[in-house]
């Protein structure tokens, strides 16, 4: 789905973690990390255990040049992924954190 279709769903009151994740990913794919951060932050408020959203939120912060926020967000995402047993997200975030610290 494209950004416009997702924004229309949001405007109709269909706010949810999944919709916000979709919007965040769509905006990140469209090279609009500021809008991605906004929607992904709403996503993790809806569902603090959404480890994939924490991962994308870190990517969006990094794309904006905000390494400190990316590191903080990824640390939270890593804790969430470990607690949930989300091995894929755990591996991805671990790699991103290692690259960030180089």
Cα dihedral value 81, 82, 84, 85, nearest 10: 110
Q: Which residues contact 42 (CB under 8 A, 6 or more apart)?
A: 15, 20
pLDDT of residue 56: 98
Q: Which residues contact 28 (CB under 8 A, 6 or more apart)?
A: 36, 56, 59, 60, 63
pLDDT digits (tens, 9 = 90+) for 56-69: 999 999 999 999 99
To the question of pTM greater than 0.85 for the whole model, the response is: yes
Q: Show the tokens assigned to 21.
A: 């994740």
Position 21 confidence tier, pLDDT thresholds 50, 70, 90: very high
Sketch out the chain's domains with CATH numbers: 3-100 (1.25.40.10)
The answer, yes or no, to whether residue 32 has pLDDT greater than 80, is yes
């Amino acid at each position: 789905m494209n950004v416009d279709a997702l924004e229309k769903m949001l405007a109709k009151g269909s706010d949810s973690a999944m919709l916000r994740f979709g919007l965040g990913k769509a905006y990140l794919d469209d090279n609009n990390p500021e809008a991605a951060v906004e929607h992904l932050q709403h996503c993790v408020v809806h569902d603090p255990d959404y480890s994939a959203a924490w991962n994308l939120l870190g990517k969006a912060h990094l794309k904006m040049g905000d390494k400190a926020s990316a590191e903080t967000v990824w640390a939270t995402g890593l804790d969430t992924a470990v607690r949930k047993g989300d091995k894929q997200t755990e591996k991805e975030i671990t790699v991103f954190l290692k690259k960030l610290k180089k």
